């Protein structure tokens, strides 16, 4: 998904807050008895993040940190296997899929309970996925589930109710417009779930392994409503014990987890509102076990230090980073203008400015996604050609616009200034508007609001549909909450998306997505810039860590402490 949320600065001085929290962490580790625990058990996994998670509800997680913590609290029906396949999770085996690829039947494990003690039942699975078609749930990844039969019809019925009826006393709308349920989601019995698709979807099992695939208890979500994201209850390896906003989160090992014998720490302690330089300092001192991001100023020193260099975990090209151009706002309604802006930017120079921590972006997909087309054409740096094209489009003297970025993201700020200077050289004045990440997330999804902005993406799973369909399919445009920030819609491309969605042959489907990539590059709804690497660091005593080329890049649920 998109770039992570960044924090507002806490009211207390950071040094005071970190000192207090580190004291708490040391106390927690002493209480956990890590020194006497069996190998692979006990201890405290210590983390630090830049901001409080907005939500830990699987339907609402968005940033890397939210998804990373979400996987500690929630399980999925199936999980991604090491070879690109699938392994059972909450399901006792892989699904039975009908010959036409339209129906998946899952048998649930009988030994699974939520952390509140309730047994996992098929109705919980139905409820979890129905939420993605309910506007009241305010989900972040609804489009992942659109291929479930009856889902969009259910969604439209709920929208009609919300527009035409007074709310009930608890703030939620009463349902009365048919359909009252999603026809493709059925609990056949207490432990059997059937999911029926409106057409074959080769990406759907991948969706079930991603953070939004986490299963929630229907009774708890119904009771807590929007507060569920800050008081989550799941089946995962850990449970949330304490959350002090602006200071820390504390998770404890779920003693009732169905894989209770798995090696695991006793607890996870997360410092909140810790900026990247301070995180780097804590990591160097051995006071946190994992570093999700490394500040630019610390990167050269860490790479030169023999004791730190070997702790890096790097996955190349995971995060396409670009400037989206709003295709519904002039002058970006004109393809010639959009192409001109692509010719204005020297991507190789930008890579140098960014410390060689990525590669030139050739297309919309991350390098890690299967089917990435390495033969895509690259826009060459040619300011003279850019000026000619602007004149051809009717802007011989250039134009003025506004370039949005996130003020707390140093990389995005560097990119914004670099692009601003590049455009100035061809006569385009781009006034910078730096905002918080939540403000950027809201505004970029709001029609007619952001003309151009710095953005990035990390695919949730190894399939081209997730990135392309989410960011560039004009069929999913919306007035608010739109995940296509360029508001790009091209009728031939939309027909290709529909054809790919219905294609059951993997080779033919991959070819369609390659055609979509080529057309998107030609239409230039983005200024294509850089494929950032994912760079993380793990202490030598953190075992079982798996760096992922997908969202989230860090998977910690299988880790353990071994000192």
Q: Which of 59-63, 79-83, 194-198, 406-410 has the highest mean pLDDT?
A: 194-198
pLDDT above 90 (res 154): yes
Residue-wise pLDDT for 158-206, tens only, equals: 999 988 865 554 445 578 999 999 999 999 999 999 999 999 899 999 9
pLDDT for 9 equals: 29
Retrieve residue 249's tokens: 């989160």
Q: What is the pLDDT of residue 62?
A: 86
pLDDT for residue 260: 80
Region 442-466 average pLDDT: 95
Name which of 377, 350, 352, 351 is nearest 363 in CA terms.
377
Contacts of 7 by beta carbon, 8 Å cutoff, 6+ apart: 50, 51, 52, 272, 273, 275, 408
Nearest to 209 by CA among 323, 75, 321, 354: 75
Q: How far apart are CA 532 and CA 497, in angstroms?
A: 26
pLDDT value at position 21? 43
Nearest alpha-carbon partner for 155 in 178, 171, 172, 174: 178
Confidence check: pLDDT of 340 > 80: yes
Report the alpha-carbon angle 91-96-100, nearest 5.
145
Q: What is the mean pLDDT of residues 16-25?
A: 41
pLDDT higher than 60, residue 208: yes
Instruction: Please provide the average confidence, as pLDDT, over all residues in the chain.
Output: 90
Least confident of 382-386, 422-426, 458-462: 458-462
- pLDDT-derived band at 342 (thresholds 50, 70, 90) equals very high
Q: Average pLDDT, stretch 295-302?
A: 89
pLDDT of 172: 55
Mean pLDDT of 424-449: 95
Burial tier of 505 (Cβ tally within 10 Å: 0-12, 13-18, 19+): exposed
- Which residue from 157, 43, 102, 2 is spatially nearest to 552, judged by alpha carbons? 2
Query: Within a 10 A sphere around the Cβ of 401, how many other Cβ atoms?
Result: 19
Residue 26, pLDDT > 80, answer no
Q: How confident is the model at residue 102 (pLDDT cuts 50, 70, 90)?
A: very high
**Confidence band of 420 (pLDDT split at 50, 70, 90):** very high
Could you write out the DSSP letters of every residue in 447-504?
TTT-SEEEEE---SSS-HHHHHHHHH-GGG--SSS-S-TT----HHHHHHHHHHHH--
**pLDDT band at residue 11 using 50, 70 and 90 as cut-offs:** very low
């Amino acid at each position: 998904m998109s770039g992570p949320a960044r924090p507002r600065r806490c009211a207390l001085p950071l040094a005071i807050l970190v000192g207090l929290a580190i004291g708490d962490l040391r106390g927690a580790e002493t209480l956990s008895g890590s020194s006497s625990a069996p190998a692979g058990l006990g201890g405290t996994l210590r983390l630090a993040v830049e901001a409080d998670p907005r939500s830990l509800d699987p339907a609402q997680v968005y940033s890397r940190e939210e998804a990373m913590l979400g996987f500690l609290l929630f399980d999925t029906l199936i999980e991604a296997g090491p070879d690109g396949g699938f392994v059972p999770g909450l399901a006792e085996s892989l699904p039975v899929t009908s010959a036409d690829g339209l129906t998946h039947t899952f048998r649930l494990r009988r030994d699974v309970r939520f952390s509140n003690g309730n047994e996992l039942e098929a109705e919980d699975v139905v409820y979890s996925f129905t939420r993605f078609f309910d506007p009241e749930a305010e989900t972040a990844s609804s489009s992942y589930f659109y291929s479930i039969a009856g889902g969009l019809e259910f969604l439209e019925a709920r929208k009609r109710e919300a527009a035409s009826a007074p709310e009930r006393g608890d703030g939620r709308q009463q349902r009365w417009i048919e359909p009252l349920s999603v026809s493709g989601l059925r609990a056949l019995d207490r432990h059997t779930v059937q999911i029926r698709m409106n057409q074959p979807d080769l990406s759907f099992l991948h969706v079930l392994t991603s953070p939004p695939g986490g299963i929630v208890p229907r009774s708890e979500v119904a009771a807590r409503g929007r507060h569920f994201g800050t008081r989550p209850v799941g089946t995962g390896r850990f449970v949330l014990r304490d959350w002090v906003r602006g200071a820390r989160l504390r998770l404890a090992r779920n003693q009732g987890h169905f894989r209770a014998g798995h090696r695991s720490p006793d607890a996870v302690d997360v410092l909140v509102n810790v900026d990247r330089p301070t995180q780097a300092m804590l990591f160097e001192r051995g006071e946190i076990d994992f570093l999700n991001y490394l500040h630019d100023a610390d990167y050269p020193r860490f790479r030169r230090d023999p004791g730190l260099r070997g702790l890096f975990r790097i996955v190349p090209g995971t995060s396409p980073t670009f400037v989206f151009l709003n295709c519904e706002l002039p002058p970006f309604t004109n393809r010639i203008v959009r192409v001109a802006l692509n010719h204005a930017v020297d991507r190789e120079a930008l890579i140098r400015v960014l410390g060689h921590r990525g590669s030139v972006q050739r297309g919309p997909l991350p390098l890690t996604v299967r089917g990435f087309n390495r033969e895509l054409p690259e826009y060459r740096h040619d300011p003279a050609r850019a000026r000619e094209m602007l004149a051809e489009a009717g802007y011989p003297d250039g134009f003025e616009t506004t370039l949005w970025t996130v003020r707390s993201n140093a990389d995005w700020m560097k990119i914004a200034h670099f692009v601003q200077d590049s455009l100035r050289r061809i006569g385009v004045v781009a006034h910078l508007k730096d905002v918080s990440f939540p403000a950027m997330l809201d505004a970029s999804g709001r029609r007619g609001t952001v003309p151009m902005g710095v953005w990035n993406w990390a695919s949730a799973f190894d399939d081209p549909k997730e990135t392309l369909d989410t960011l560039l399919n004009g069929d999913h445009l919306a007035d608010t909450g739109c995940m296509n920030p360029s508001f790009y819609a091209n009728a031939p491309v939309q027909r290709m998306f529909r054809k790919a969605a219905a294609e059951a042959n993997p080779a033919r489907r991959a070819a369609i997505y390659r055609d979509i990539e080529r057309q998107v590059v030609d239409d230039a709804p983005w200024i294509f810039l850089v494929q950032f690497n994912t760079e993380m660091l793990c202490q030598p005593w953190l075992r079982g860590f798996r760096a992922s080329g997908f969202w989230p890049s860090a998977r910690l649920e299988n880790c353990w402490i071994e000192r």
